Structure 1
Amino acid sequence: MNGTETMKDPESPKILEEDCIFLIGKKKENVVDVTADSLVALFTLECCRNPALNVVLVEREDNSATESGDNKSDNEVWFPVNVKTLSFPLFCIDEDKCPDMIKSCLLPAVLTSSKPWCVAGLCASLRFMLRKTVEVFPGHFCQKFLGFRGGCLQACAEVSVWTKFCEIESIRALKDFSNIYCKNSKTLVFPKDILRFEHHLQHPPILHNALKRKQYLIKKNVADKVQQQELCAKKLSELPELDHEFAEGLDMTLADIMLFGSFHILLTVLKKHVILNDVCPLVVRWYGLISCNEYVKNALPVLGKLITMNSFCDTDMNTLEVIIPVVPSESLYKSDPERYKPRWRSYTHQHDIERVLKLLDEAGVNPEYDSHPSDDLNISWSSYPLAFSPQAGQMPAKRLERKCQQLENIISAVRQVARDGDIIVDFCAGGGHVGIVLAYCLPNCKILFVENSEASLIRAYERIECLGIHNVHFFQSNLDYFQGYFNVGVCLHACGVATDLVLQKCINQKAAFVCCPCCYGGVQTNHILEYPRSQLFCSLSLSVEDYLILGHAADQTHDESNPKTKQGQKCMQLIDTDRLALAQSFGYSTKLILMEPRTCSPKNHLLIGIQKD
């Protein structure tokens, strides 16, 4: 079925009674103008044929995209798609008529019909689409695109170099290239991300089942049975390295389709100006391999309208100078040891820690703890249903008592700042330990679970169902993709940068926060955050490396008998003082307190903040 269908009344049509993926764009006769994310999503949907969910285009009133590709009326780049190239119907809806959960997310996003569950982000939405299609059409070919054990692009972009490349950087490369190329500049810098992908393909793939794959290839390619047995008996490290055929190794996955959606346009234009085989031969080989795939060939017309745009055809090939930048020769896997230099691999040399602590001490940064906001920290766990307790969330018995104590601290602090009718977000909700207790104890509040892991959210949902709780909504989403309104933000042991992402979300919404940080050594500057966080710490000429030393030392909190613990606690105080100083600069009244008893966790800090009246 080709073409678009305009959804005039989004409340009544059956379209919203089924699972829907929402994309950004605007319909103009037989053409839709879409964002780069939506373009890649449409191409992927077309590759998979018959996607088992409805595709809804969200039209923005201020969207006046033009075919030039460089309209910036809302700081976005727009790409045309001929609707007739789509094999599925495309429904349109005004942004203000979108369901509330979709309004709370950056798009692309999926809204399920069977429960209050939203999946946000390009990778997560497309993964959901693949799984749903296989569920509805068992044996569907797109099952293989999910990769080994369904793990393709499962990790979130904040922690995965690879997901960040596929979901953010390759998309940004397409937008940046379109912006620059369409201005008819005399010079053009060859996209760095294509060269990064070239280096990635030069490195051996990192596979969970590498030994089995090598043994399979030996049996396939070695005719002599004795030689087969000898080779198959060898250890993994004794066998030759595998070569990248596809983006993630030996099999075509969702990552290949997404990258092809961006790189097809770049390479088609660039080959007019440079000999691609001289610049990125492995990318050219990869591109040729993907181009031959029957599903990709069938979906190529989705990208065809853009290639024929005047802005991409008019540039004078003879006058454009292409500059080839230098990029590090490393793979795009975080676990690749070549990504790390030896001098960066240890931050816990005692002389370095003492130097940073001395710098802060001489600057007069000597934080102290505030008193706990509640005298009543006891919850009568036995008086509640089993699903209420973390015992129902697959919590090991030896950790159960301490987890209950942590929850008592969090819940008591939230009760001090929350009011009836508030929307409370449990960030990094996991299996729902915090959010379930909040939802049960605060029935007049709405609790939103935000968590990247589908498996964890499913466990939380099952417990909610057992308790018959109806004031909970689920967002399977990276922190960055949740954009909804809320009054109180909560997180328990949000690792590394996650705590700072939560605090930034709360500051942006002027919401109260109750946060318990974890994994201080995991803080690192990324595409969203920079460190140090506050102007106070930035004014001390504290380098990023100094800050990482402080963070890694803060993780040396073992037990009271360990000589490093006191120092580690001090470093925790300093990192969290920086975090709270940032909040104070935005008008917050803050507290840094210790959970009680202190032994409930080595990471026993609570950061509490309320906007001043």
Structure 2
Amino acid sequence: MKKTDSTSQQERLYLDHSSTSDLPLHTSITLFLLSYCECKSFQVFLVSSNPRGSPLCWGTRVPEFLGVSEVCVEDLPELVRGCRLPAVLDGAGRYCRAGLAVVLRHIVSRTVEADSCRGGVSALLGFKSTCLKACAEVSPWTRLCELSIPSAVESLLLRSSHQSLLLPDAILQLEKTLGEPVKVHNNDKIRRQKLRLRKKKEEEEEGSDPQKAPQESSGTASRPPPLNPEPSDGLELQAALAKLSLGAIPPPSTRECSEIRKVKTAALPALEHVFAEGLYFTLTDMVLLPCIHHFLVVDPTAIPRC
């Protein structure tokens, strides 16, 4: 198949750049993903409200391999001018994708199309490629990640260091979400694996303690698992690292022993968050990492403690 290497057919990615030296969070997040994916499928433009001839100052905050260009608001294509940045305009200039989540998902898709071997990149879209797929108008989770948290962090950064800061509601909502049990498509299976590992660890500890073993050996099998276990099993982290490893081979499917199978789902140990949406690194983490990084570098002495 003959490849078309025409610059006019390359999609154009437009990113916002304020008049200050700091890049807006939506722009930083998009550049972060482009760098992570090493994606070169777009012509990247930083859009400035400065008058023509006033150069932008972005220093080392933009990856060198992107070859970023500058453009003024008045020079934007009409279709892009009516959209909220970031936005991607197709090569023909007739179709525009706008909004952070839509653009990020499109970057992932274009990266995989350019190199089908980039399985680790496609995994960013999560189970059935649904990560941040629902728009912010109908999905509270997308709205929190795409709009509420970046907006809250930027508001903190704009405040004076002498002003007292309160934890934004969006950050508190994220903290609450991360404290909830993880729900994944193979939830029951992984929780039973966690129970099996816990029982094995208990048996090893009892076997190493000759005084403790005779007292508890008779009741070990019938003892129900704790509902709120301590995070010491490490199964979640093992599952996350296996997913991140490009050369990882999934373990063979094995059926749990009857003792584990008989345990009711409600009595299984809960899974804990390794990443924002659970056990696996997704596009949501790419959005939240720059936001939380900026949030954590805010003067901690200005944030009241409970």
Same fold (TM over 0.5): yes
Shift of the 115–196 alpha-carbon distance from structure 1 to 2, 3 Å rule, reads: same
**Counterpart amino acid of residue 21 in structure 1:** L
Residue type at the aligned position of 2:145: C
Matched, 1:19 2:46: no
Deviation at 1:135, TM superposition (A): 1.2
Distance 1:236 1:124, change over 3 A: farther
Q: Does residue 294 of structure 2 align to residue 265 of structure 1? A: yes
Letter paired with 1:41: T
Residue equivalent to 2:279: 250
CA distance in 2, matches of 1:163, 1:51: 26
Which residue, 22, 27, 35 being the options, matches 2:24?
35
User: What does 1:488-567 align with in structure 2 at a 5 Å threshold?
Assistant: none
Structure 1 Cα separation of the partners of residues 65 and 259 of structure 2: 51
CA contact (8 A) 1:134 1:143 kept: yes
Q: Give the alignment partner of residue 164 of structure 1, picking from 137, 140, 143.
A: 143
Pair 1:191 & 2:220 matched: no
What displacement does 1:198 show? 1.6
Q: For the residues of structure 2 that align with 1:212 and 1:139, how far apart are their CA atoms?
A: 28
Q: Is the 8 A contact 1:34 1:81 kept in 2?
A: no
Q: Describe how 1:94-493 pairs up with structure 2 within 5 A.
A: 94-113=72-91, 116-140=94-118, 141-180=120-159, 183-215=160-192, 217=194, 228-232=257-261, 234=263, 236-271=265-300, 273=301, 321-324=302-305
Deviation at 1:136, TM superposition (A): 0.9
Structure 2: which amino acid aligns with 1:267? Answer: L
Correspondence 1:31-70 to 2 at 5 A: 33-61=22-50
Name the amino acid aligned to 2:95: W
Structure 1 residues 14 and 227, CA, compared in 2 at 3 Å: closer, same or farther?
closer
Deviation at 1:186, TM superposition (A): 4.4
Are 1:189 and 1:324, in contact at CA under 8 Å, matched by a contact in 2? Answer: no
- Which letter does structure 2 place at the counterpart of 1:98? L
- For residues 116 and 208 of structure 1, the distance between their equivalents in structure 2, rounded to whole angstroms, comes to 38
Partner of 1:437: none
Count of matched residue pairs: 249
| TM-score, with structure 1 as normaliser | 0.36
Unaligned runs of 5+ in 2: 204-253
* Deviation larger for 219-228 or 192-201: 219-228
CA distance in 1: counterparts of 2:196 and 2:125, whole angstroms = 26
Give 1:82 deviation, angstroms: 2.2
- Following superposition, the deviation at residue 235 of structure 1 comes to 5.3
Deviation at 1:89, TM superposition (A): 1.7
**Structure 2 counterpart SS, 1:82:** coil
Partner of 2:69, secondary structure, is strand
CA contact (8 A) 1:231 1:239 kept: no
- 1:246 CA displacement: 0.8
CA gap of 1:83–1:260, structure 2 versus 1, over 3 A, is closer
Flag the 1:186–1:89 CA change in 2: closer, same or farther, 3 A. Answer: same
Cα distance in 2 for partners of 1:16, 1:212 equals 50
Structure 2 CA distance, aligned partners of 1:227 and 1:171?
44
TM-score, scaled to structure 2: 0.69
Q: Which amino acid aligns with 2:121?
A: C
The structure, 1 or 2, with the larger RCO (C-alpha pairs under 8 Å, 6+ apart) is 2
Percent of aligned pairs with the same residue? 28
Letter of the aligned partner of 2:88 in structure 1?
V
Q: Partner of 1:194: helix, strand, or coil?
A: helix
Greater per-residue strand proportion: 1
Deviations 1:546-571 (A, max 9, x none): xxxxxxxxxxxxxxxxxxxxxxxxxx
Structure 1 CA distance for aligned equivalents of residues 268 and 74 of structure 2: 58
